[in-house]
């Protein structure tokens, strides 16, 4: 039998990290077994719909490389793939359950349901309409009384199911509420539409967060009521975030960005995000951490999904991002870095290979580039003490001498390239009989005005250009 999974998001805003992981694991479960990955938009909760959110879903899936085989935008044999366009399908199934005594019409008003709430705000339905006489039900329907259709949950016994990750789970039926199947507006509830659509679309594996474990008996009781085959359930561990005090709690905005869009805006690459999110609850068969989506798919196995909560570590994600940046070829690196170069240099053309050589191994996010290169835009004010460096054997006495010699040599240099400057400075150090660091430390300080820089003196001089480089070296000479 072909494995078929579905990602069924509601267009209610951004894509949370947890939703992204669910989509990723749905994709991996299907593709690792040669199956189909289906996209279905669940928009039955009309009050929570957010304009433009559906486009966010398509865009995000495209950005992270999760190509769906069927969906609203690509079609398929089991469409339509938007629940609001399937509205007419659900009521007949609910009415079938009513006729068979497995569901019932509930006429309770919003006010009555509010009155059932306990002091802590919990409102458990008291099954007031469950056993209304047939004549009364018919009379209320004929009068046009608003209603919902509720599922009849057994009042005794328990429901047991097996989850691929958590094993056998048993829930007492008395703990399960008579859930609503069809709402007063005629739309199905999320749970009911899920079951109907999953059956009609031949979904074999349902992947979702473990917070839905206790809801699964409701699904299974519906499958059993219709006599349908129950899918394989794959419940995923919680994603937690680190608190300031070292404890963990469910990932939320107080921990940092929790959406794909937010992480992308912070400078994280989609490939790095996917790689890291894949490891939130799943482990590869070997010790590798940096894996492409193709490699993850090849190695994916449901059996290696963990029951334990996964902690979202932003420092670890940053490390992953840096690894992906380091592995880029020159063209790709430049494409990502170019907008940030413009922030620093404007329309001035700078040698891209030199910038790449000082940045690629150092940065973890491209958005860090303007901060690292800020001294190119404006020379910081710096103290004369910066010229003193024990390791390079520079002092306030010899630094002026080094700068004076460097200025003299550079003023006569025709080849203002990295190669030309390198040859000039190495030759000068040899001529002066000093170590390279003794010459280059004061040159770098004067050129950058900061103790820590990406790249050394010669790269900085190259990028500054002749006029600005010499201006800064002369200013440094006056300062020390």
Which positions are annotated as active-site residues?
A: 253
Short-list 46, 39, 61, CA closest to 12? 46
Task: Please name the helix (run of DSSP H) or strand (run of DSSP E) that holds residue 421, with its range, or none.
Answer: helix 418-432
Q: How far apart are CA 64 and CA 87, in angstroms?
A: 31
CB 258 within 8 A of CB 251: yes
Which own/partner contact pairs does 432-435 have at CB distance under 8 Å and 24+ positions apart? 432/402, 432/405, 434/402, 435/392, 435/393
DSSP per-residue letters across 371-385: HHTHHHHSPPP--GG
Residue with tokens 């006010």: 111
Q: How far apart are CA 351 and CA 179, in angstroms?
A: 65
Q: How far apart are CA 380 and CA 409, in angstroms?
A: 25
Main-chain dihedrals φ then ψ at residue 137, nearest 5 degrees: -60, -45
**Strand duo 232-236 + 239-242: pairing:** unpaired
């Amino acid at each position: 039998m072909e494995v078929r999974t579905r990602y069924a998001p509601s267009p209610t805003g951004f894509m949370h990290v947890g939703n992204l992981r669910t989509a990723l694991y749905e994709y991996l479960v299907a593709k690792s077994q040669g199956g189909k990955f289906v996209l279905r938009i669940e928009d039955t909760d009309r009050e929570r719909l957010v304009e433009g959110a559906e486009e966010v879903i398509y865009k995000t899936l495209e950005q992270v490389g999760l190509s769906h085989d069927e969906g609203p935008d690509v079609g398929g044999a089991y469409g339509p793939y938007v629940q609001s366009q399937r509205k007419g399908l659900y009521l007949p199934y609910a009415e079938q359950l009513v006729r068979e005594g497995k569901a019932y019409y509930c006429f309770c008003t919003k006010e009555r349901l509010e009155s059932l709430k306990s002091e802590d705000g919990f409102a458990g339905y008291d099954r007031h309409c469950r056993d209304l006489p047939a004549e009364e039900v018919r009379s209320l329907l004929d009068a046009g009384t608003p209603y919902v259709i509720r599922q009849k949950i057994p009042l005794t016994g328990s429901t047991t199911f097996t989850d691929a990750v958590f094993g056998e789970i048993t829930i007492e039926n008395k703990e399960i509420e008579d859930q609503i199947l069809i709402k007063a507006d005629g739309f199905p509830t999320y749970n009911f539409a899920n079951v109907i659509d999953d059956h009609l679309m031949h979904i074999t594996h349902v992947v979702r967060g473990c917070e839905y474990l206790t809801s699964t008996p409701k699904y299974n009781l519906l499958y059993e009521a219709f006599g349908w085959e129950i899918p394989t359930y794959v419940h995923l561990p919680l994603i937690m975030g680190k608190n300031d005090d070292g404890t963990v709690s469910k990932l939320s905005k107080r921990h940092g960005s929790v959406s794909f869009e937010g992480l992308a805006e912070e400078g994280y690459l989609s490939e790095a995000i996917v790689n890291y999110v894949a490891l939130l609850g799943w482990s590869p068969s070997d010790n590798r951490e940096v894996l492409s989506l193709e490699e993850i798919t090849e190695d994916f196995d449901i059996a290696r999904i963990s029951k334990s909560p996964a902690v979202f570590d932003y420092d670890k994600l940053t490390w992953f991002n840096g690894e992906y940046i380091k592995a880029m070829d020159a063209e790709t690196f430049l494409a990502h870095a170019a907008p940030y170069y413009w922030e620093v240099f404007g329309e001035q053309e700078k040698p891209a290979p030199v910038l790449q050589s000082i940045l690629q191994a150092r940065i973890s996010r491209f958005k860090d580039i303007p901060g690292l290169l800020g001294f190119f835009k404006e020379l910081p004010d710096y103290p004369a003490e910066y010229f003193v460096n024990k390791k390079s054997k520079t002092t306030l006495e010899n630094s002026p001498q080094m700068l004076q010699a460097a200025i003299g040599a550079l003023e006569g240099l025709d080849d203002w390239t990295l190669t030309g400057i390198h040859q000039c400075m190495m030759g000068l150090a040899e001529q002066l009989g000093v170590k390279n660091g003794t010459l280059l430390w004061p040159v770098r300080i004067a050129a950058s005005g900061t103790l820590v820089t990406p790249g050394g003196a010669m790269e900085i001089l190259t990028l500054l250009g002749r006029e600005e480089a010499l201006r800064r070296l002369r200013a440094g000479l006056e300062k020390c």
